[in-house]
Amino acid sequence: MKIPVTFKYILSVYLLVMVHAIAEAQSSISGKITDSKSHSGLAGATVRIPDLNISSISDSLGNYRLKNISHAAYLVEVKIIGYATHIETVDIKGDVKKDYALAPSATVLNEVVVTGVSSATDKQKTPIPLATVSNSELLQNSSSNVIDAITKTPGVSGMTNGPSISKPVIRGLGYNRVLTINDGVQQVDQAWFDEFGIEADGNAVNRYEILKGPGSLAYGSDAIAGVINLIPEAALPEGQTKGDVLFNYQTNNGLINNMFHLAGTKNGIAWSARIDNTMAHAYRNKYDGYVLNSQFSNFNADATIGIHRKWGYSQLHASYFDLRTGIVDGTRDSLSGKMVRPVSYPDLNGGEPTYVLPTHQEQTTYTPFVINQKIRHTKVVWDNNIAAGSGRIKGIFSWQKNQRQENNDPTIPDVSDIYYSSNAATYDVRYVSSQEGTFNYTGGVNGVYQSSQSLGTLLLIPNYNFFEIGAFAIANKKIGNLNLSGGIRYDTRTFNGIDHWVDSTTQAPVAPNAENAFHEFQGFKSHFNGISFSVGGAYNFSKNVFLKANLSRGWRAPNVAEAAANGVHDGTVVYEIGDHDIKPETSLEEDIAFGVNSKDVDFEIDLFNNRISNFIYARGLKDALGADSINNSLNAVGLGAAPVYKYTNGTAQLYGGEVAFNIHPSSISWVELNTTFSYVYGHLVNAPDSTKYLPFVPPTRITADLKFPVTKIGNFIKNAYFKAGMLTCFQQNDVYRQYAIYSGLNTALTPYEYAASTSATKGYVLFNAGAGGDIVSKGKTICSLYLICNNIFNTAYIDYMSRFKYLPVNYTTGRVGVYNMGRNLSIKLLIPLNFSGSHI
């Protein structure tokens, strides 16, 4: 992979700064953590400085100490289960003594966030709309992939392609408009495909931070709709060696997830290692029975080693993700309505396709059929944080290799019709100032280089490479109870499409003068640039009442499909045409939020209005007679005629909001009620009624969970809970009426399929329940057990965000599409491994 000179220069300068960095004298912070009522010491409390990735655990008397800290002001977080988290900025110079008295509380009222801000801050004090999902929430809920775990978060949804694949959607926008940060770096893959999800291990995620909207200036082009930050566990305190073993079984699809994780820190050397595997057979629902070929298997491994000193830290992280998942096409037997397995497809001589009914063993096997995807993502990350005077220099670099293969022909099981392979490098270098009185700032440069090749026989996009660099500055100022934040960013991207000739009968690469040569892709170079900004404030009327407002402008460069597609998209069976000269998107979003956080009630309402200029979408082309344009080019090998869609620009408008209302009376600590409401409306401005609504804008949704937490049951169970919940999804009436033609598997719609494309997806109500707790012996946790039952009443439904809603009709019932998962019981057993320094 040829790395651009600009990237090499940035890396060289950073290495020079790192080698010559001069640390200040060593400082420390120590003290005692107590119960505010009894004044007794609290053992096992965590004291953490997020910006330095260091922490300490209080001993049996409540004493703690953090040392080897460079002189500066840092945000300090103090927390323990059953008590309100304390967040405070402390000026650490010399040996600082700081005691903390924590108030008993079953609910987390304030949180530290790191996504899109200059340095770690209190969530209540940043004007940018942010949501978080904690580790305890992840354990108490069940999911089948890394994005599925957060789809109940207000304003967040997942566009699904079965249990193994979900693409994040934030406030109605997805694909390359949502940036995924994993292990501190941008995930570089082919997010423009409907069928491609996020290649990340859910077991390696300790918590999520979700930035909603384009308010972040710390990231580049693809964050115009927001950021999903998958945050791993922090380094363990000095002297500790811990691990855990996880077993998870889900009854509906027989999902089995096993994970082993071990980590430790000694003499400032921190390390961790993890290995896990997930596999599932076909899932079931009341109407379809087993959904044929929805099984998948997923193997993951990662390891980290780092050094922590008074000058900061440097760590190296490596991970490997490997997913093989079946492709559900929904083809059914005309007599029984059962799904059938393909044996052969139509050939060029007009041969008919053949299908067979699967056996029960084939439906319950953990191995996908011949029609499947294989996805691999390899990543190495080098993360550094170096003291520089009273501030810090942060530098994080990564190399990523992404490989995506699709096998679509049952007669040639080892041939990948679609095979995309890319290499990428990301870089991010920034200076973060210390808190100078009431002011702090950060500035830096970051970007990505990617080189991709199409190695399969079915081509949609050219081989390409692009280089992006952006510079940004963010500042924060506190004036009394008002916290102001703002900044500006400039990005530029150079995109190179590689000239490509193929044989029109086989699509194999050939010379331009070869027989049957077809000029599939013409070489080109495009340049895109744009300016982003954000400005806002958070005002605290009191400790518990706040108001936030933010105005932000986002920017997004076209992806490879939008700029250069020229072929049949196998997943949608339409002929897509890109535009080298298509314009980049820009957005202007207004956000306002009001909230109350008290010991009995917390409430927050977030409203937004987002207008996107030069919104990029695929528009169906018409022929001279006004009918759908049909492409019959020879290069659409084996796929037949396909309707033609070309990417173009328009103007989009989205608005809506989220509400969270939670009741947790301090006088009745054993009951909590948590409710949320999400709404978004999205449309193209000045578009015809049939195409004015944006596809996959989620319907209105309400969640309600009643929880009964119990601190202790006898001498053997602690941190127990029981909960019951309800999820209500309303009918989505604002649908893109022509999308079935764009995403269906047949170009000639049957009456049933046409009805599905022109009618709204029905709403539904699902009920769920869960229980769990820690099993203890002699004050130590032996294991934690979690039971979760989703869709208790086995309701048959098709979620609007599922691509399976466009699959073929079942002629025996008249139902169109494939339904979502039925009743599912998840059983999780988490066994902690404590080898030293444990207070749990």
Measure the CA dihedral 480/481/482/485, to 10°.
90
CA dihedral sign of residues 360, 363, 364, 369: positive
- Check residue 618 and give its pLDDT: 84
Q: Which residue has the higher pLDDT, 494 or 194?
A: 494
Phi-psi region of 817 (alpha: psi -120 to 50; beta: other; left: phi over 0): left
Of residues 349 and 256, more confidence is placed in 256
- Segment 532-562, tens digit of pLDDT: 999 999 999 998 899 999 999 999 999 998 9
**pLDDT score for 572:** 63
Q: How far apart (Å, rounded) are the C-alpha atoms in residues 433 and 544?
A: 28
CB neighbours of 585 closer than 8 A, spacing ≥ 6? 177, 224, 554, 555, 556, 612, 613, 614, 615, 616
Distance between CA 672 and CA 685 in Å, rounded? 43
Residues 732-757: tens digit of each pLDDT = 888 876 544 433 333 334 444 444 44
Under DSSP, the state recorded for 8 is: H
Please, which residues bridge with residue 208 across strands?
Answer: 133, 230
Question: What number is the average pLDDT over the span 502-506?
Answer: 77
What are the structure tokens assigned to 213, written together? 């909207």
Which band of pLDDT confidence, cut at 50, 70 and 90, is reported for residue 459?
confident
Residue 4 has a CB neighbour count (10 Å cut-off) of 15
CB atoms within 10 A of CB 707: 20
- What pLDDT is attached to residue 739? 42
Query: What is the torsion angle, in degrees rounded to the nearest 10, for the CA atoms of residue 82, residue 88, residue 91 and residue 94?
Result: -10
Instruction: Write the pLDDT tens digit of every residue in 142-170.
Output: 999 999 999 999 999 999 999 999 999 99
- Residue with the two structure tokens 């063993």: 361
- Full strand arrangement of the beta sheet holding 207-212: 130-133, 207-212, 226-231, 178-182, 185-186
> What's the rounded Cα separation, in Å, for the pair 114 and 127?
13
- Inter-residue contact 526 to 580 (CB < 8 Å): yes
* pLDDT tens profile 54-71: 888 888 899 999 888 888
772-813 residue pLDDT tens: 999 999 888 999 999 999 999 999 999 999 989 888 888 899
Mean pLDDT of the chain: 87
User: How sure is the predictor about 228, in pLDDT bands with cuts at 50, 70 and 90?
Assistant: very high
User: Of all residues in the chain, what percent carry a pLDDT higher than 90?
Assistant: 56
- What's the rounded Cα separation, in Å, for the pair 764 and 766? 7
In the three-class reduction of DSSP (H, G, I as helix; E, B as strand; rest coil), residue 561 is classed as helix
Instruction: Tell the residue number behind the tokens 């309303």, with chain if given.
Output: 730
Question: How are the residues of the chain apportioned to helix, strand and coil, as percentages rounded to the nearest 5?
Answer: 10, 55, 40
SS3 of 582-648: the string is: CCCEEEEEEEEEEEEECCCEEEEEEEEEEEEEEEEEEEECECCCCCECEECCCCCCCCCCEEEEEEE
The pLDDT of residue 93 is 85
Note the pLDDT of residue 5.
59
Report yes or no: 801 and 160 within 8 Å, Cβ to Cβ. yes
Task: Answer yes or no: is pLDDT of 365 > 60.
Answer: yes
DSSP β-ladder status, 100-102 and 26-35: parallel
List domains and CATH numbers for the chain. Answer: 8-14+16-105 (2.60.40.1120), 238-836 (2.40.170.20)
pLDDT surpasses 50 at 24 = no
What is the mean pLDDT of the segment spanning 44-60?
88
Is the pLDDT assigned to residue 639 strictly greater than 60? no
Measured over all CA atoms, what is the biggest interatomic distance in the chain, rounded to whole angstroms? 88
User: Pick from 201, 75, 82, 78: which is nearest to 145 by CA?
Assistant: 201
Nearest to 45 by CA among 27, 67, 65: 65
Distance of CA 431 to the CA centre of its chain: 27
* Residue range 449-465: mean pLDDT, rounded: 88
Q: Strands 241-250, 255-266: parallel, antiparallel or unpaired by DSSP?
A: antiparallel
pLDDT for 748 equals 38
Cβ 44 vs Cβ 80: under 8 Å:
yes
Residues 6+ apart with CB under 8 A from 540: 124, 125, 481, 482, 483, 546
Give the separation between CA 599 and CA 50, rounded to whole angstroms.
25
How far apart, in whole angstroms, are the C-alpha atoms of residue 71 and residue 389?
8
At residue 738, the pLDDT reads 53
Burial class (CB in 10 A: 0-12, 13-18, 19+), 692: middle
Residue (of 132, 139, 137, 40) closest to 83 by Cα position: 40
Residue 602 CA, chain-centre distance (Å), reads 26
Backbone angles phi, psi at 634, to 5 degrees: -65, -20
The residue to which tokens 């059929």 are assigned: 369
DSSP letter (8 states) at residue 816: E
Query: CA-CA distance, 170 to 150, in Å (whole number)?
Result: 11
Residues in contact with 238: Cβ distance below 8 Å, sequence separation at least 6, in sequence order? 56, 265, 266, 267, 268
- The two tokens of residue 234 are 């922090």
Q: How confident is the model at residue 347 (pLDDT cuts 50, 70, 90)?
A: low
- Are 591 and 550 a contacting pair, CB within 8 Å? yes
Q: How many CB atoms lie within 10 A of CB 621?
A: 16
Residue 102 has pLDDT above 60, yes or no: yes
Encoded tokens for 23: 């640390």
Q: 411: how many CB neighbours lie within 10 A of its CB? A: 11
pLDDT at 82: 81
Residue 561 exposure: Cα atoms within 13 Å on the Cβ side:
23
- The encoded tokens of residue 705 equal 């969970």
Beta carbons within 10 angstroms of residue 198's beta carbon: 23
